């Protein structure tokens, strides 16, 4: 394996007006997404004080996103990524704007939250693959690695800054004398800012010039959309390493996703800082992820044996960090733990993305990466609903402790009873 690093193309990238428009619009949209990520679960909790209702709302966002993501990826490969992405931005502007109006006018019902969550999830099923596919059509091939690094780094930066700003904004606009509606004004402003971010990013996208339109190299891409998806699913299942990793990640996603989406805001609600604590906790996790990704980029050769062994060791460590989270009652202690968890996850995330890009043939990349995202986003709503149901009978402390122990156990079982530990960084010959 060559250790030669590609030439740094960053200065040339910033001379490209299309890339600058795409980068600025993407950064603004990603920042706006963090406002809704904080505001939506907090809205449902304040409306209902019911963790099951929160799980249902999050599931309604995630289920259509999961069901249609593979189809969205195939459609983007066949048609225009820019056109699909532009359409999703218009739709999300309308949906988030409507949600903001309903919240600010105090005319929002729970069924409306459910309906809008469902629509937002459906739009996201097409925005994610189109957003992932447009960058190679804008920058030159030799600039793609640097451009991806900037986009990924910006995403993690917004995951750090966004929750902090959202939590502080909601708290700033809160009226403590208004009882259950205390946070409604701040929540409405948060949704309005997200809608505005979609509108502005749609404008910046009009300034982006697409250099070329990809011609499918795989005959399966010319077949029916569902046949193309099915053919790639068979390929991934027949590959031992892909099948092993995807099944393992599915188990981890089922265990972890609900904790972040449901249990974490419930834990933050027990802290004295309230919604600001939730923003700080999520921001700490985002900051840790960014640091972990930077470390992975600088020291990409850090391994505990093989790549698979490294993943298992990291997941075992994360399990030990998660277990005591439910006993934390101070914001700074929870933020410290989530910072460490984020660092471990960020390091592994870069390694996994690189492994997939090396392992999968180029003409399968779009569908396989859509499947990879589908595993996490499709299982997340199931995990959220299951967590909400469990929290009706177990405490938040018991849930974190049990999940941490179970995560450590799954990593240990995979170590001794699966091919996971033998997964190597080395690419295979296709």
For the stretch 291-329, pLDDT in tens is 887 777 667 677 888 888 999 999 999 999 988 888 888
Please tell me the predicted confidence (pLDDT) of residue 87: 93
Is 113 within 8 Å of 43 (Cβ atoms)?
Answer: yes
- Identify the pLDDT of residue 388: 81
Q: Which of 60-74, 237-251, 261-275, 388-402 has the lowest mean pLDDT?
A: 261-275
> Are 187 and 237 in the same domain?
no
Q: What CATH number is attached to the domain comprising 45?
A: 1.20.1250.20
Q: In terms of domains, do 249 and 158 share one?
A: no
d(CA 117, CA 155): 22
Question: Per the structure block, which two tokens stand in for 103?
Answer: 């919240």
Q: Say whether pTM exceeds 0.75.
A: no
DSSP three-state, residue 304: strand
How many structural domains is the chain composed of? 2
Whether 91 shows a pLDDT value over 50: the answer reads: yes
Residue 228 is predicted with a pLDDT of: 79
- Nearest C-alpha neighbor of 330 from the set 280, 283, 271: 271
| Confidence band of 102 (pLDDT split at 50, 70, 90) | very high
* Same domain as 372, residue 256: yes
- 58: Cα within 13 Å, side-chain hemisphere: 36
> 221 vs 206, which has greater pLDDT?
206
Buried b (16+ CB within 10 A) or exposed e, 49-67: eebbbbbbbbbbbbbbbbe
Domain boundary among 214, 241, 257: 214
Answer whether residue 223 is part of any domain: no
In a domain, 225, yes or no: no
- d(CA 276, CA 269) in angstroms, rounded, equals 9
Rounded distance, CA 346 to CA 290, Å? 6
Domain that holds residue 309: 230-430
The reply to whether 193 and 248 lie within a common domain is: no
Q: Which residues contact 393 (CB under 8 A, 6 or more apart)?
A: none
Asked whether residue 362 carries a pLDDT value surpassing 90, the answer given is: no
Query: Region 73-96: what's the mean pLDDT?
Result: 87
Interatomic CA distance for residues 81 and 210, integer angstroms? 9
Q: Is 220 contained in some domain? A: no
User: pLDDT at position 47, please?
Assistant: 85
Is the pLDDT assigned to residue 189 strictly greater than 60? yes
∠359-146-354 over CA atoms, to 5°?
Answer: 20
Lowest mean pLDDT among 65-74, 151-160, 309-318, 324-333: 151-160
**Token pair belonging to 234:** 């068979």
Percent of all residues in the chain with a pLDDT value above 70, rounded to a whole number: 86
User: Which of the four pLDDT bands, split at 50, 70 and 90, describes residue 283?
Assistant: confident
| Residue 370 reports pLDDT greater than 90 | no
Taking the C-alpha atoms of residue 405 and residue 396, their distance in angstroms, rounded to an integer, is 14
**Final residue belonging to a domain, choices 180, 214, 248:** 214
The radius of gyration computed from the CA coordinates of the chain, to the nearest angstrom, equals 21
**Average pLDDT over all residues of the chain:** 81
Rounded-to-integer distance, Cα 246 and Cα 128, Å: 19
Q: CA separation (Å) from 47 to 11, 54, 141, 175?
A: 49, 10, 49, 15
Tokens of residue 108, six digits? 């929002």
pLDDT of residue 282: 79
Give 213's pLDDT tier (boundaries 50, 70, 90).
low
**Cβ proximity of 384 and 58 under 8 Å:** yes
Whether pLDDT at 2 is above 90: no
Instruction: Examine the domain organization and report whether 206 and 129 are in the same domain.
Output: yes
Predicted pLDDT of residue 4: 43
Find, among 344, 354, 259, 264, the residue nearest to 304 by Cα: 344
Residue 164 lies in a domain: yes
Any residues with CB less than 8 A from the CB of 352 and at least 6 apart, and which? 245, 311
22 in Cβ contact with 205 (< 8 Å):
yes
Q: Looking at the domain assignment, is residue 295 inside a domain?
A: yes
The tens digit of pLDDT for each residue in 168-185 reads 888 787 765 544 455 778
User: Per-residue pLDDT tens for 404-413?
Assistant: 898 899 999 9
Kindly state whether residue 132 falls inside one of the protein's structural domains.
yes
Contact 420, 311 (CB under 8 A): yes
């Amino acid at each position: 394996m060559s250790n030669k690093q590609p030439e740094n193309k960053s200065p040339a990238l910033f001379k490209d007006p299309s890339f600058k428009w795409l980068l600025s619009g993407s950064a603004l949209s990603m920042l706006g997404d963090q406002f809704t990520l904080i505001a939506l679960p907090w809205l449902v909790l304040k409306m209902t004080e019911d963790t099951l209702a929160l799980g249902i709302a999050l599931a309604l966002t995630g289920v259509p996103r999961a069901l249609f993501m593979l189809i969205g990826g195939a459609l983007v490969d066949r048609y225009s990524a820019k056109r699909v992405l532009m359409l999703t931005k218009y739709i999300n502007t309308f949906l988030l704007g409507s949600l903001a109006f309903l919240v600010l006018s105090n005319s929002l019902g729970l069924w409306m939250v459910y309906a809008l969550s469902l629509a937002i999830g459906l739009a996201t099923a097409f925005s994610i693959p189109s957003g992932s596919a447009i960058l190679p059509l804008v920058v030159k091939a030799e600039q793609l690695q640097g451009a991806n690094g900037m986009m990924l780094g910006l995403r993690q930066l917004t995951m750090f800054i966004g929750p902090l700003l959202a939590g502080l904004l909601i708290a700033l606009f809160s009226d403590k004398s208004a009882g259950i509606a205390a946070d409604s004004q701040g929540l409405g402003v948060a949704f309005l800012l997200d809608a505005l971010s979609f509108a502005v990013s749609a404008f910046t996208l009009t300034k982006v010039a697409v250099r070329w339109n990809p011609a499918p190299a795989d005959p399966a891409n010319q077949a029916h959309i569902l046949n193309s998806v099915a053919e790639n699913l068979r390929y991934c299942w027949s590959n031992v390493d892909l099948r092993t990793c995807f099944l393992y990640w599915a188990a981890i996603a089922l265990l972890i996703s609900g904790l972040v989406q449901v249990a974490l805001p419930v834990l933050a609600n027990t802290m004295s800082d309230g919604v600001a604590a939730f923003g700080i906790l999520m921001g700490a996790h985002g900051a840790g992820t960014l640091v972990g990704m930077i470390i992975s980029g600088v020291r990409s050769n850090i391994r505990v044996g093989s790549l698979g062994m490294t993943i298992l060791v990291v997941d075992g460590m994360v399990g030990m960090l998660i277990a005591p989270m439910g006993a934390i009652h101070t914001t700074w202690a929870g933020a410290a733990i989530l910072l460490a968890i984020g660092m471990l996850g960020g390091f592994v995330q870069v390694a996994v993305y690189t492994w997939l890009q090396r392992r999968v043939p180029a003409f399968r990349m779009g569908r396989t990466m859509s499947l990879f995202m589908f595993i996490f986003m499709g299982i997340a709503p199931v995990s959220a609903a299951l967590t909400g149901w469990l929290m009706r009978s177990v405490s938040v402390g018991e849930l974190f402790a049990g999940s941490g122990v179970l995560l450590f156990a799954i990593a240990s079982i995979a170590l001794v009873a699966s091919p996971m530990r033998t997964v190597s960084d080395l690419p295979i010959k296709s």
